[in-house]
Structure 1
Amino acid sequence: MWSKRFLLAGVASFFLHVDLASSHVPRSHEYARALQARKYVTQATVADSYDFIIAGGGLAGLVIASRLTEDPNTTVLVLEAGESGDAVPSQINPPSGTYYNSLLGSPYDWQHKTTAQPGTDGRVLSWPRGKVLGGSTAVNGMYYVRPSETEVEAWKGLLGSQDGADAWGWNNLVAGMKKSETFTPPISDVQTTGKIQFDAQSYGTDGPLHVTYPGFMFSVVGDWTPSLEAIGIESAADPAGGKNFGGFVSSLSINPSNWTRSYSKSAYIDPLPPRKNLDILVSATVTRIIFGGDKNSAGDQVASGVEFATSATGTKKTVKVKKEVIVTGGALGSPNILMHSGVGPKDVLDAAGVNVVVDLPGVGQHLQDHLAAPVVWESKVETAGDIHASGTPFSKQAQTNSFVNSAIAYINASTLFDSAEQFQSAVAADFDAALKDVPSTSPEVIEGYKALYQATQKFTTQSVGLIELLLSINSPKAITIQAALQHPFSQGRVYINSKSAFDPIIIDPQYFSHPADIAVMREGIKLARRVGQSEPMRSALGAETFPGPGVNTDAEIETWLAGVVATEFHPQATCSMLPKDLGGVVNPKLQVYGLANVRVADSSVFPLSFSAHLASPTYGLAEKAADILKAAYTAPAPSNSTGGSNSANPSETGGSSSPGKSNGASGLTSSSGTLLAISLAGIITFVASLLR
């Protein structure tokens, strides 16, 4: 028997649908399929050359492709190693599918593995990444969490006086994030039940990506912030505004018009009318960027094209590039592409048998990742896992399945440690000893490690999250509080060991090689337990089942952690935006050092780990990257011009200058309810759906 609140929520769902219909036009499944039926080219129909070739059709690649082709005179090819995802919408679109019907472990997942990690009992850890158009945004947990202003400004500070460095301060990055999004406030009942706080002014209102909260909420989520406050952890009233320190319920990348996942493909590609200047080729693995030996006046190598193949034994094909190659393969794919193209550490390339084009020692270095471990209790209340397991009609409603765990908190050193000063002193004292773990002999990389260490050390004295706590209720009869390391002092690397781009990249994050990381994780587990023992959360929990009462001392917790920690799926920094003399790979304009017309634009360029999930800052980065590219190739309009402009004419591209404002199976209107331009076929399908 469902509780009265669940029955009321069902009634509210009906009225919500009616309310949304007034501002988001309802549409049939046929229309959704029409939107998703993109014009994908094949190896036989791909053109010989394009202005821009984008290597990787993940989050950033699709954003940039959509934005660049707003200009009808600009041609773009996107090469994606995975499939389109159109064959598996039931495993992508429902938000709850990320827990119950995931694509992880399938051919839509790269299924990466780390090397055996001494710090985790010699275990080999799984690193899932999306191998599909949209990349990991098609398979992730949809958390839409901004980093803090302090962290972003620290990144900018590392860039020094380099040309373009000002583009990466907080104000500019948040402008990119806001440009990408259309925010919808939560339903009143959801906000009240979850005790959700937000400031709508901190979000965008007219972007392609939908950002909101679940359409259904559990009372135990509302226990989260009061339980944190009971032990002295304040709530974050405006977590998207640059101060994410404290507890809050995060926004999510969900389309509230139909409660589907909003991700880079459904937001930036699916809603577009036909664009003859945008070609997307799936099942096409980039094997290398071609350099013909030409150099520009600065002596930088000029890329002439991109080589790709459908399989390790398939025929390789080359497409010429007229302007630039934009590498958007993510923290693993981008360094992989560069190294197989002959751009990377000479010792690695020599060992793999790859001819060196540019000796760039920072490629693959500075790897950072968030590690996580759970504390689990029996549940005395109904969880999302219980509802899913019931199999009832209510459990199958789209609104019910929009629930995603998103109650989190970012905690600093002064809250974690009894003596934060002692911890900070230990970190400072370990500085010289930590250098022995730098996985490079390059002086540049070593200097970069020092700079990153010192920047991360400052976070231990600021209101910046060293640990993330995360509430999870997606398992039946269980409630979990996860602790996740946010600013690792342990840095690793990725590298290649063969000439074939189809061979797995080698991943060595060097987990727990620095003692500060396991100390932070240990205290995070203790804090998770304290939250579980504070009211009102305590009343919802039964006995602790994992790790259980046998793990209590510092030594016991640390031993247990080594055997259970896993990735939180946030790798970054392998093509860091840093000065070259700090082991940097790209400059502030995203240009690869030593290359005239190749840029990297994805999460691999973030040099410092953020206390955030990486989707939001990466959307911001991609929007800024598109702006940088447009500025580089668009001449300013004459000041006395009375007609025309250099921006794309929406009628010429077949759509508005904003790529969609809708989800692939999603809304056709902006947040104000104004209909977007849609094709004649779409109008006919839409009207037919209304007449049914």
Structure 2
Amino acid sequence: MWSNKLLLTTIASLLLQTNAHTPYQYSQALRARIYVTQSTVADSYDFVIAGGGLAGLVIASRLTEDPNTTVLVLEAGATGDAVGDSINPPVGTYYNSLVGTSYDWQHVTTPQQNAAGRTIRWPRGKVLGGSTAINGMYYVRPSDIEVEAWKGMLNSDNAAGLWGWDNLYAAMKKSETFTPPTPDVETTGNIQFNAQSYGAAGPLHVSYPGFMLSVVGNWTPSLEAIGIATAADPANGKNFGGFVSAVSINPTNWTRAYSKSAYIDPLPPRSNLDILVSATVTRIIFNGNNTSGDQIASGVEFATSATGTKNTVKVNKEVIVTGGALGSPNVLMHSGVGPKDVLDAAGVPVVVNLPGVGQHLQDHLAAPVVWQSKVETAGDIHASNSAFSKQAQTMSFINSAIAYINASTLFDNVAEFEAGIANAFNTSVQSLVHSQSSEVIDGYKAIYSATQNFVTQGVGLIELLLSINAPGSITIQAALQHPYSQGRVYINSSSAFDPIVIDPQYFSHPADVVVMREGIKLVRQLGSAAPISNALGAETFPGPGVSSDQDIETWLAGIVSTEFHPQATCSMLPRSQGGVVNANLQVYGLANVRVADSSVFPLSFSAHLAAPTYGLAETAAEIIKNAYKAPIISNNTAGPASQTNPSKGKNNALAFATWSKKETILATIALAGIIMLVC
């Protein structure tokens, strides 16, 4: 084996022989080879992935481990490389955010009748990596109770072998490489974890910030003071109670870890993987049906703008839709797959009448209580603009102290609360569902029934979150985790470039505002508990003037906002319950189209959605591979040029086949050096 010194000397020597190209330049060249243009994209691919967000990039990376499988990813946004200063430093999520820029879809809801008639912003990432490139980086798994409840709803022979806690847990661990916190961070933050509950060899780095503030260490003792236990091993399906969560961060350089940096950027040359950015999928093209009557997708149409030329790429095997809770139903409906009344009104010819597309929308709502701070916060450090504030470890701090609380803590009389929920459901179920479809109504009933079972179990109805990123203040938020209110998304135009209509129907079920009200009361109780009370000054928002139940409910209507966790719009449920995909992620009525992202989760999770979506995407890749008996090649092996797509790369100046022998050797050695230096 070469010594490190000899390897580096050889790299340096070869670099000098080739006009002093650097390992960084070669890594950029290797990465750039994956990106194609409209003039270099091939005519056909085995799989076309509609959406280059979290799930799309995971699946693309995994499928192309087989060198004989060709994949094209179509992403409406840019690569994100031009705004790395906003994406990569974790602190950028607070102070240099891409929210509101061209890298954000800038969605807004319809006016919400029960939220003071307000429209509410729904930022979503419009960039490779999707929302993982702009989110708060929490890495929180759902509880095993919730995941098992989801499996129990599927009514499928395949469900037991694909889903459920054990399977999702293994898939999440497959995606991860976990690094424990430094001893100082662990002690200062009072962090508890079990390293064995995480993966050790996956593409995605999961760890903790490199810097911690002492007020975070007050979190779990203060929760214990009001009777909320600490979750000692929250990654193992037992997230009930208080803890400081792991985050998606790379501790080798204190940068954001997200689907692009984890699953795409480190790849060796793969001539069988193409990514086309700034390409919006306008529709899936169908050509006849199979013997079962299911429509066969033959291609995908895309364009760069509403007035731009529409292009079509042929599909040899499948279309995989990974646009998320908003993008996936948008693609399906513009392809003629969805509720007939919606499609007719939008002027889109109906291919498959599938009433559940866009329905069952669930989202987490959050509201803050703010105090003056008596201690230094992360916001104070950032505002100082000191040399310390600009160090990579300091800039890696993000909020991740949370707790999950059930109704037994929120209510003195849980039975009365349960009876109130049931009464509202029984007297107004029709008005709670924005669909005339009996299937969708039956699906709401199934989701309601499963959610009711969580009320007194070890599952969070409310999430508490500590935030210390604003100068001079400390915030504790309450966030609704299992809404009884369901909304929908739908199209009102035949143009895929027009915004999708988002109507989450916030607070349409009265139980949701009651849960949130009691959550705010619990936040204030926590704020009065030592030791965290010693860090808090006067409450500045909403302030002591908002104290009665009616005061709090009125205030909530005017202040609640999304926690950025929409799901369930392409639910994995039986078709008879408004389901859109089966346990194999196949869209009902379509022969070769799957949806594989957070839109398929039919039940809201007490979690942040990145972790379960990584697990879902890893599982989806295995389902697809097994369907075509594709051999699984090591993730670190570069395959030869695809034999199934000979037209690919003819006009690509960076095609691997055009490299000289010396350039190929050099790039390989340089890449090895980079891996050694940064891993």
Structure 1 length-normalised TM: 0.89
Deviation at 1:428, TM superposition (A): 1.6
Output aligned runs, 1:503-542, within 5 Å: 503-542=498-537
2:648 is matched with none
Give the secondary structure class of the aligned counterpart of 1:207: coil
| Residues 558 and 38 (structure 1), Cα distance of their counterparts in 2 relative to 1, 3 Å cut | farther
| Residues 331 and 679 (structure 1), Cα distance of their counterparts in 2 relative to 1, 3 Å cut | farther
Deviation at 1:342, TM superposition (A): 0.1
1:323 to 313, 317, 320: 317
Deviation at 1:201, TM superposition (A): 1.0
- Distance in 2, matches of 1:128 and 1:366, equals 20
2:456 to 453, 458, 461: 461
Deviation at 1:418, TM superposition (A): 1.5
Asked if the contact 2:339/2:353 (under 8 Å) is kept, the reply is: yes
Deviation at 1:37, TM superposition (A): 3.7
Asked if the contact 2:270/2:638 (under 8 Å) is kept, the reply is: no
Residue 225, structure 1, aligned to residue 211, structure 2:
no
Q: Which amino acid aligns with 1:599?
A: R
2:350 to 356, 361, 365: 356
- Distance in 1, matches of 2:155 and 2:554, equals 41
1:370 is matched with 364
- Distance in 2, matches of 1:434 and 1:451, equals 15
Residue 153, structure 1, aligned to residue 142, structure 2:
no
Q: Which amino acid aligns with 1:316?
A: K
- Distance in 2, matches of 1:114 and 1:142, equals 24
- Distance in 2, matches of 1:91 and 1:650, equals 29
Give the secondary structure class of the aligned counterpart of 2:111: coil
Residue 614, structure 1, aligned to residue 609, structure 2:
yes
Q: Which amino acid aligns with 1:226?
A: P
2:333 to 335, 339, 344: 339
Q: Which amino acid aligns with 2:317?
A: K
- Distance in 1, matches of 2:676 and 2:438, equals 66
Q: Deviations over 1:70-101 (max 9, x none)?
A: 00000000000000001111000000100000
1:381 to 369, 375, 378: 375
Output aligned runs, 1:8-407, within 5 Å: 33=28, 36-292=31-287, 294-407=288-401
Give the secondary structure class of the aligned counterpart of 2:307: coil
1:556 is matched with 551
Residue 437, structure 1, aligned to residue 432, structure 2:
yes
Output aligned runs, 1:579-598, within 5 Å: 579-598=574-593
Deviation at 1:261, TM superposition (A): 0.2
Deviation at 1:536, TM superposition (A): 0.1
1:414 is matched with 408
Asked if the contact 1:34/1:682 (under 8 Å) is kept, the reply is: no
Asked if the contact 1:58/1:132 (under 8 Å) is kept, the reply is: yes
1:653 is matched with 639
- Distance in 2, matches of 1:685 and 1:242, equals 38
| Residues 185 and 649 (structure 1), Cα distance of their counterparts in 2 relative to 1, 3 Å cut | closer
Q: Deviations over 1:117-160 (max 9, x none)?
A: 00110000000000000000000000000000000000001002
Deviation at 1:403, TM superposition (A): 0.4
Asked if the contact 2:31/2:267 (under 8 Å) is kept, the reply is: no
Deviation at 1:689, TM superposition (A): 12
Give the secondary structure class of the aligned counterpart of 2:192: coil
Asked if the contact 1:273/1:654 (under 8 Å) is kept, the reply is: no
Asked if the contact 1:369/1:568 (under 8 Å) is kept, the reply is: yes
Give the secondary structure class of the aligned counterpart of 1:143: coil
- Distance in 2, matches of 1:67 and 1:421, equals 48
Q: Which amino acid aligns with 1:612?
A: A
Q: Which amino acid aligns with 1:467?
A: I
- Distance in 2, matches of 1:422 and 1:621, equals 37
Asked if the contact 1:55/1:80 (under 8 Å) is kept, the reply is: yes
2:564 is matched with 569
Asked if the contact 1:586/1:600 (under 8 Å) is kept, the reply is: yes
Residue 681, structure 1, aligned to residue 655, structure 2:
no
Asked if the contact 1:83/1:108 (under 8 Å) is kept, the reply is: yes
| Residues 464 and 434 (structure 1), Cα distance of their counterparts in 2 relative to 1, 3 Å cut | farther
- Distance in 2, matches of 1:86 and 1:646, equals 30
- Distance in 2, matches of 1:338 and 1:686, equals 42
| Residues 189 and 648 (structure 1), Cα distance of their counterparts in 2 relative to 1, 3 Å cut | closer
Q: Which amino acid aligns with 1:233?
A: I
- Distance in 2, matches of 1:500 and 1:154, equals 38
Q: Which amino acid aligns with 2:353?
A: D
Deviation at 1:461, TM superposition (A): 2.2
Deviation at 1:422, TM superposition (A): 1.1
- Distance in 2, matches of 1:679 and 1:179, equals 31
- Distance in 2, matches of 1:269 and 1:650, equals 12
Give the secondary structure class of the aligned counterpart of 1:596: coil
Asked if the contact 1:69/1:75 (under 8 Å) is kept, the reply is: yes
Asked if the contact 1:77/1:280 (under 8 Å) is kept, the reply is: yes
Asked if the contact 2:268/2:636 (under 8 Å) is kept, the reply is: no
Q: Which amino acid aligns with 2:156?
A: S
Deviation at 1:164, TM superposition (A): 3.6
- Distance in 1, matches of 2:634 and 2:178, equals 25
Give the secondary structure class of the aligned counterpart of 1:252: coil
Residue 451, structure 1, aligned to residue 437, structure 2:
no
- Distance in 2, matches of 1:104 and 1:322, equals 37
Identify which range, 451-460 or 325-334, moves more after superposition.
451-460
Deviation at 1:553, TM superposition (A): 0.4
Give the secondary structure class of the aligned counterpart of 1:653: coil
- Distance in 1, matches of 2:320 and 2:171, equals 18
Give the secondary structure class of the aligned counterpart of 1:365: coil
Alignment coverage as a number of residue pairs: 633
- Distance in 1, matches of 2:543 and 2:23, equals 49
- Distance in 2, matches of 1:419 and 1:689, equals 58
Task: State the identity as a percent.
Answer: 76
Give the secondary structure class of the aligned counterpart of 1:375: strand
1:24 is matched with none
| Residues 686 and 577 (structure 1), Cα distance of their counterparts in 2 relative to 1, 3 Å cut | closer
- Distance in 1, matches of 2:116 and 2:676, equals 60
Q: Which amino acid aligns with 1:653?
A: G
- Distance in 1, matches of 2:454 and 2:215, equals 31
Asked if the contact 1:159/1:165 (under 8 Å) is kept, the reply is: no
1:5 is matched with none
| Residues 459 and 682 (structure 1), Cα distance of their counterparts in 2 relative to 1, 3 Å cut | same
| Residues 603 and 53 (structure 1), Cα distance of their counterparts in 2 relative to 1, 3 Å cut | same
- Distance in 2, matches of 1:679 and 1:485, equals 55
Deviation at 1:38, TM superposition (A): 4.7
RMSD: 1.9
- Distance in 2, matches of 1:497 and 1:382, equals 49
- Distance in 1, matches of 2:420 and 2:613, equals 33
